């Protein structure tokens, strides 16, 4: 039973990470997701690349949900990414409300990932 809970939690966070991937194909969606206008080409490139990286992380989490031998390193990578984003959002003055909203979702994702890790290790004993 624990195995399926861990799988579901990783798939959930994986899907949440896949969602911003839409910005790669539709850069104008960055306004609704982050309240950031990608009118300049430099920022558009950076945000579209970020979208790909988040989608790759999401795909990795979904894959790790079914391949337990890679679960720990993939979850650690996800935690590092999410914690670094939180650090940047909460240590930078003037961050918009949409980025704070994304950060709050990341806090929830961190909690879910930590629960998945704890269940994974408890099931392995």
Residue ranges of the domains in the chain?
2-123
Contact 86, 106 (CB under 8 A): yes
- At 91 the pLDDT is 97
Q: What distance in Å separates the CA atoms of residue 50 and residue 26, rounded to the nearest whole number?
A: 13
pLDDT at 63 over 70: yes
pLDDT at 5 over 90: yes
The stretch 95-118 carries a mean pLDDT of 95
Read off the tokens for 120: 């994974």
pLDDT in tens, 19-61: 888 888 887 777 777 777 877 888 888 888 999 999 999 999 9
Indicate the pLDDT class of residue 125, thresholds 50, 70 and 90: low
- At 28 the pLDDT is 78
The sign of the dihedral angle between the CA atoms of 8, 61, 96, 94 is positive
- Cα-based distances in Å from 82 to 78, 103, 113, 120, 122: 6, 8, 10, 20, 24
């Amino acid at each position: 039973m624990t195995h399926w809970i861990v799988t579901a939690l990783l798939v959930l966070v994986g899907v949440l990470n896949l969602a911003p991937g839409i910005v790669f194909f539709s850069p104008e969606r960055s306004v609704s997701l982050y309240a950031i206008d990608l009118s300049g080409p430099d920022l558009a490139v950076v945000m579209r690349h970020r979208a790909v990286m988040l989608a790759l992380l999401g795909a990795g989490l979904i894959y790790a949900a079914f391949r337990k031998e890679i679960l720990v390193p993939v979850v650690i990578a996800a935690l590092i990414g999410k914690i670094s984003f939180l650090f940047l959002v909460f240590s930078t003055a003037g961050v918009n409300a949409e980025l704070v909203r994304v950060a709050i979702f990341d806090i929830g994702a961190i909690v879910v990932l930590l629960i998945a890790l704890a269940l994974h290790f408890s099931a392995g004993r």
